[in-house]
Structure 1
C-alpha cells in the first residue's frame, strides 16, 4: 500500500473510534451525510452538541450534532441564539467560555413549527374573494328535472 492509502485507512479507523464503532459510524453517516472528527466545545440545554476542528476550512470547521430526540427532523431553528453566534463565526468565543448576558426582554428559543400541528395559522376577518365551486347534489339535479317536465 502507498502512504496515501495508509493515511486514508488510518483516518477511517480514527473516525470509527470517534463515533464508537462501525454501527455508530454508519448511523452517523446516514443521519448527517458527513463524517467529521473534532473537539466537542459544549452542549446546550436542548441536548445539541457543538464541535470544532481547525483542520477544516472556515465555514466548515464548526458544526452541530442535534439531539437524538429530533431524529432526522433537525432544523437550524433548533439552535439557540448564543450558539448561533458561535456557529456563524459572529464571535470566536463559545458560550461555554463567554456566556451571553441575559436581558429581561430575551425569551427562550422556540423552534420553527412549520409543517406540524403546532404551526402558526393567522386568523383572518377578510371574506374570500373567490367562492369555490360546489357540484350540485343528486337530489338538487333530480328536482330540477322533475320541475321541467
Structure 2
C-alpha cells in the first residue's frame, strides 16, 4: 500500500494516522489466522478498556473470526487463546462474507448459473379462490 493511500483511504486498511497516533498507548494483545491484529487500551465512555482490530487488507468486519468477535464485543474477558476451548475437529474455519464476489452462493436457476431451473413436479397445484 502506498504512502498516499495509507494517509487518505480508510477502506483499504488502517490509515497512517491510526497506525502512528491512534494506537499510541494501546497494547497489542494478539492476532488471528487472517493476519488481523488486536489491541486494547485507553477507556471508553463506560470506563472499560477500549478494544480495536486493525485489519490486514480491506476493512471487512466479516473477516473477524468468531472467537475474536466475542472478545471485541466483551462476551469473553480474556483473549480467545486463553479463555476459549480449542477448536473441535468438526468445526469449520470462519469464512468472509462473499456477497458481491464471484465466490458468492448462487442457487440453481440463478442467471449466473445459466438460468435453468429443474422442471416442476406434479406435486404443486396453484391456488384459486373458488377451490
Give the structure-1-normalised TM-score. Answer: 0.55
The one of 92, 111, 132 equivalent to 2:77 is 92
Alpha-carbon spacing, 1:41–1:95, altered in 2? closer, same or farther (3 Å): same
The one of 105, 112, 117 equivalent to 2:102 is 117
| Equivalent position SS for 2:30 | strand
- Root mean square deviation of aligned Cα: 2.9
Q: Distance in 2 between matches of 1:102 and 1:87?
A: 19
Q: CA deviation at 1:57?
A: 3.3
- Deviation per CA, 1:101-144: give whole Å up to 9, x if none: 222331111101111111111113367xxxxxxxxxxxxxxxxx
Q: CA deviation at 1:56?
A: 3.1
Structure with max Cα Rg: 1
Name the one with the larger helix percent.
1
Mark the runs of 5 or more structure 1 residues left unpaired by the alignment. Answer: 1-22, 128-149
Q: Relative CO higher for 1 or 2, CA cutoff 8 Å, sep ≥ 6?
A: 2
Deviates more, 1:58-67 or 1:44-53: 58-67
Q: Distance in 2 between matches of 1:117 and 1:51?
A: 33
Q: Which residue of 1 aligns with 2:34?
A: 46
Q: Which residue of 2 aligns with 1:134?
A: none
Q: Distance in 1 between matches of 2:45 and 2:71?
A: 15
Mark the runs of 5 or more structure 2 residues left unpaired by the alignment. Answer: 110-116, 120-131
Q: Distance in 2 between matches of 1:100 and 1:63?
A: 23
